[in-house]
Amino acid sequence: MRPLAEARAEVLSAMPRLGSGPVDAGSSVGRVTALPALAREHVPPFDNSAMDGFAVIAADVAQAPRTLKVIEDVAAGSVPVSTVVPGTAVRIMTGAPMPSGADAVVRVEDTEAVGRDEVTIAVSVEEQHNVRPRGGDMSPGDVIVDSGIKLTARHAAGLASAGIVPVVSDMPAVAVISTGDEVVPYTTRDLAPGTIRDSNRVLLRAVLAELGVPIIDLGIVGDDPVELRSVYQDAASRADLVISTGGVSMGDYDYVKQVLGDLGSVEFWKVAMQPGKPFAFGSINGVPLFGLPGNPVSSFVSFEQFVRPAILHMMGATNLLRTQIAGTMGEDVVTSPDRTVFLRVMLAQDADGTFVAVKSGGQGSNMLSSLASADAFAAVPVGVGSLSAGDDVTLEMFRWPEGRRGDE
Ligand code: AMP
Ligand code: MG
């Protein structure tokens, strides 16, 4: 059996990289920067006020209270024309440019109007108090977002403030195929004897949608070598990456192996992980192909451990793996010591804030109810074999606990 990390490294090194191009910052969320995004201008572009108040010379109000003559009003969006000299102030709004001569702003709460043209400044202030200097946030040449970063809404705002159109990697189009004579569309009304609903393709489409990649759904293919051959060929001609489920284990009707072997270079791996051991990986005409196990949870674990990182790598991302955190097991568990075992767990936080994991239900590789209610995989590494309640465990997070309240 191949160690998981080694198998993943091999998969990643075989992924082709895609092209890149500019994209509107407002629609860039989920895309990965292909180049570092550098500021070309100062942000803010000019010294401006952080408060509604009065622009003054700090030294002029050192002996507050002091009454000053108000020589101008300046709103955000307009440009002051006067110069503040000792004995004078400019009434200024948040975001308005600082008038020349002034070096601080006293907020309106610390002042009192005297008639229409004068103001009493009640407090003394340091130079630059309530002034947002030009370039205080960003300066030309600053890296706003490095390359290889999957953009969030917060990045988009940072890019927009510097007028940057990000250059992002292209998204791979991903083809999805379910195989198996017993597999029927999940919307089938009455299941014929011996048939099961196709959950794999729904799961794959949903996780791919989360990644934001274009999906080519090629439906369900029976255990028929001729049909399989034509669907895989079609997939490889249209997609940048192909995922199928089923047909890769030791069964009599597992034709996927044979067909893929004929069409391209495909290897059948036994990876030291559970669930998800049998797994086909290779390419057809240079298009990478993943043959995932048919069992739904095996298929999901293989997706998480190989396909998701592979797609992110193709998209140019630097961070390929889910966030891992240290937690503790909340119950005793026994696992196969020869594999990394991924337990579906629910998390609670103890008084110290430590995440405590308990199994979210049955751990059979066909059991989706426990996957649906899980927050994370507890990864029990090769060589461990058992954990007791209170032992440390690594948690691969796919949902943070607040998600259980329904707002994930
Ligand atoms: P296989 O890898 O084809 O031997 O399938 C292993 C198990 O996964 C069998 O119980 C199949 O019925 C089940 N299975 C295969 N494909 C799917 C699918 N698309 N959705 C749900 N279960 C599946
Ligand atoms: Mg099958």
Mind giving me the DSSP string for 345-403?
EEEEE-TTS-EEEEE-S---TT--HHHHT-SEEEEE-TTT-EE-TT-EEEEEESS-GGG
359 CA to middle of ligand 2, Å?
28
DSSP 333: E
Which pLDDT belongs to residue 408? 44
DSSP 305: I
Which residue minimizes the CA distance to atom 16 of ligand 1? 294
To test the pocket of ligand 1, the residue of 183, 204, 303 to mutate (highest count of ligand atoms within 8 Å of its CB) is 183
What gap in Å lies between CA 83 and CA 105, rounded to an integer? 14
pLDDT band for position 407 (50/70/90)? very low
Mean pLDDT of the chain: 95
DSSP E strands, 88-180: 88-92, 104-107, 111-114, 118-121, 131-132, 143-145, 167-169, 174-179
pTM: 0.92
Which pLDDT belongs to residue 343? 98
pLDDT band for position 44 (50/70/90)? very high
Q: What is the pLDDT of residues 301-313, one digit of tens each?
A: 999 999 999 999 9
State the burial class of residue 229 (Cβ atoms within 10 Å of its Cβ: 0-12, 13-18, 19+).
middle
Instruction: Find tokens 């954990």 and name the residue.
Output: 387
Q: Report helix, strand or coil for 40.
A: coil
pLDDT band for position 405 (50/70/90)? low
Which residue minimizes the CA distance to atom 14 of ligand 1? 294
What gap in Å lies between CA 351 and CA 311, rounded to an integer? 38
**DSSP element (H, E) containing 283:** strand 278-284
294 lines ligand 1 (CB under 6 A): yes
**DSSP element (H, E) containing 204:** helix 200-211
pLDDT band for position 402 (50/70/90)? low
Q: Rounded mean pLDDT of 94-101?
A: 98
202 CA to middle of ligand 1, Å?
13
For residues 379 and 393, the answer to whether their CB atoms sit within 8 Å is yes
247 lines ligand 1 (CB under 6 A): yes
251 lines ligand 1 (CB under 6 A): yes
Q: What is the pLDDT of residues 148-196, one digit of tens each?
A: 999 999 999 999 999 999 999 999 999 999 999 999 999 999 999 999 9
Q: What is the pLDDT of residues 355-365, one digit of tens each?
A: 999 999 999 99
Q: What is the pLDDT of residues 107-124, one digit of tens each?
A: 999 999 999 899 999 999
Q: What is the pLDDT of residues 187-239, one digit of tens each?
A: 999 999 999 999 999 999 999 999 999 999 999 999 999 999 999 999 999 99
195 lines ligand 1 (CB under 6 A): no
CA 72 → CA 49, 51, 93, 107, 395, distances in Å?
Answer: 15, 16, 12, 16, 61
198 lines ligand 1 (CB under 6 A): yes
Which pLDDT belongs to residue 291? 96
**Encoded tokens for 124:** 């003394």
196 lines ligand 1 (CB under 6 A): yes
DSSP 167: E
DSSP E strands, 75-185: 88-92, 104-107, 111-114, 118-121, 131-132, 143-145, 167-169, 174-179, 183-184
| pLDDT above 90: residue 403 | no
To test the pocket of ligand 1, the residue of 188, 245, 254, 290 to mutate (highest count of ligand atoms within 8 Å of its CB) is 245
What gap in Å lies between CA 1 and CA 356, rounded to an integer? 31
Q: Report helix, strand or coil for 272.
A: coil
Q: What is the pLDDT of residues 284-303, one digit of tens each?
A: 999 999 999 999 999 999 99
What gap in Å lies between CA 100 and CA 80, rounded to an integer? 8
Share of the chain above pLDDT 90, in %: 91
* Ligand with the closest atom to the CA of 223: 2
330 lines ligand 1 (CB under 6 A): no
Q: Could you tell me which residues come within 8 angstroms of residue 310 by beta carbon, excluding any fewer than 6 positions away?
A: 11, 12, 15, 241, 288, 290
pLDDT band for position 404 (50/70/90)? low
User: What is the length of the chain?
Assistant: 408
pLDDT band for position 256 (50/70/90)? confident
